[in-house]
Amino acid sequence: MTSAAFGNWVKHRVAALSLGHWGTLDPSACGVLVMAVGEATRLLPLLRDSRKRYVFDFKAGSSTDTGDEDGRILATAPVPPGWERGLAEAVGSLVGEFHQIPPMYSAVKIAGRPLYEAARRGEDVRRAPRRTQIHDLRIVAAEPGGARLAVHCDSGTYVRALCEELGRRLGLPAHMGSLLRVAAGPFRLATSKLASDIAGDGARCIVDPLAVLDSPRVVLQGADKDRFCHGNVVMLADCHRGFHHREAIVLDGCRPVGTGRFEETSAQLRLFPTRVFAEPGAGGTSKDANS
């Protein structure tokens, strides 16, 4: 199942008007898939730590056109005995910042079209390298012809391309086997919900975004709250100083009513609305301010 198809299923199970993904998964992969429903979709940009953790299988001795097990084999080579001795050095050489070329079978858009559409037509599109960072890469287990690895990486890292690069450094064609996302930012596999959990009681599977986001909080009441909800600037007390570099979640009591950015001067502190949410039960849709 694709992430989009699973998202549509979840959307109906929790009776949400809207649903957004915070990083999709390939149909053959499994693990943590972060989704937001309703107005929480517009809070996803406030998630600051977008790094991912994966456990995956590295397959040496063959490469494929997709970089994973679902593709057509392009090249093969015998894996020499004792190849594992060079694995640790090759793995260590990949830790740090480097540039990665997105695979042809990916959702990256070039000239407005996903690369995978061109790949299915047999085309090879020129792709610019993208900077990424591997924070940690380690061997979980090794066996003849393959290994299980764990990686902690920046968002946007392609593990398939990482396997191919690891193969190049070993002098072997290679591809990715199974892929499990064990963490996405603050979300972990151990606290994730299964499809069966959502089918049983979808509402109980929803996480309060205020329990996850570490953004500053501003509570507005009365006329200030009304001004903000109509997209107007609000003057704040000095106790909010020091947060001018962060986007804040604006609350009416415990209920988020939007987000705002600070403008701080020596004389005053102002809050500019960046997102204003619709009132519960109100018609119409919420809006972005200054965008």
- Average the pLDDT over 208-237 and give the result: 90
Q: What is the pLDDT of residues 184-195, one digit of tens each?
A: 999 999 999 999
Instruction: Tell me what the mean pLDDT of segment 15-30 comes to.
Output: 89
The pLDDT value recorded for residue 284 is 46
Q: Could you tell me which residues come within 8 angstroms of residue 163 by beta carbon, excluding any fewer than 6 positions away?
A: 56, 58, 59, 67, 174, 175, 176
Summarize pLDDT for 114-167 with one digit per residue, the tens. Answer: 777 877 888 787 888 889 999 999 999 998 899 999 999 999 899 999 999 999
Q: How far apart are CA 234 and CA 220, in angstroms?
A: 9
pLDDT score at 290: 38
With beta carbons less than 8 A apart as the criterion, state whether 189 and 131 touch: no
Report the alpha-carbon distance of residue 126 to residue 199 in Å, rounded: 43
pLDDT for position 245: 66
Which residues are marked as active site?
A: 26
Q: Give the pLDDT band of residue 106 (cuts 50, 70, 90).
A: confident
Asked whether the predicted pLDDT for residue 266 surpasses 70, the reply is no
The mean per-residue pLDDT over the stretch 69-77 comes to 93
Say whether pLDDT at 274 is over 90. yes
Look at residue 283 and tell me whether its pLDDT is greater than 70: no
Please report the pLDDT score of residue 276 as a whole number.
93
Q: What domains appear along the chain, each with residue ranges and CATH number?
A: 3-49+187-210 (no CATH), 52-184 (3.30.2350.10), 215-288 (2.30.130)
